Amino acid sequence: MTVLLGFDYGPRKIGIAVGQVITGTASPLVTLRTINNQPDWQKINHLVSTWTPKALVVGIPFDHDGIEMDWTPMIHRFIRQLKARFSLPVHQINEFLTSIEARNLMGRAARSHEVVDAVAAALILETWFSEQH
């Protein structure tokens, strides 16, 4: 079974999901708060150790005009850090509107932003799976 982890990176929170290549599906895992503007590497290390993914997928946000968001350089730094820490392939995908789609899917439950980010990470991962076929 080939497992991947997906990340919805934000300046204050990082949503994380796990997905399986065979089924092309993903499930939300957790949303981690950043610590002093840094990812919670201890918890990310634990997730990577637990799930032993073959690759990681990170969403890159663009606005409706196709322009990268102002925090995108932080995401590219996060991607470099993931590569250095875990020696795994890190794929990037346009995550345009995944957070809005996650809120729509969740309805009333979307009030918990912690859950929304993890659901957005699952959507990022599923989008990546669908683009691979």
User: Per-domain residue ranges for the chain?
Assistant: 3-132
Does residue 101 surpass a pLDDT of 80?
no
d(CA 18, CA 25): 9
Stretch 29-58: mean pLDDT: 96
pTM for the structure as a whole: 0.86
Q: How confident is the model at residue 11 (pLDDT cuts 50, 70, 90)?
A: confident
Q: 3-132: which CATH number, 3.30.460.20, 3.10.450.630, 3.30.420.140, 1.10.3720.10?
A: 3.30.420.140
The percent of residues above 90 in pLDDT, for the chain, comes to: 61
CB 31 within 8 A of CB 19: no
Does residue 112 surpass a pLDDT of 70?
no
Q: How confident is the model at residue 18 (pLDDT cuts 50, 70, 90)?
A: very high
Give the CA angle between residues 123, 128, 106 to the nearest 5°: 5
**Sign of the CA dihedral running 45, 26, 103, 120:** positive
Does residue 100 surpass a pLDDT of 70?
no
- What is the SS3 assignment for 70? coil
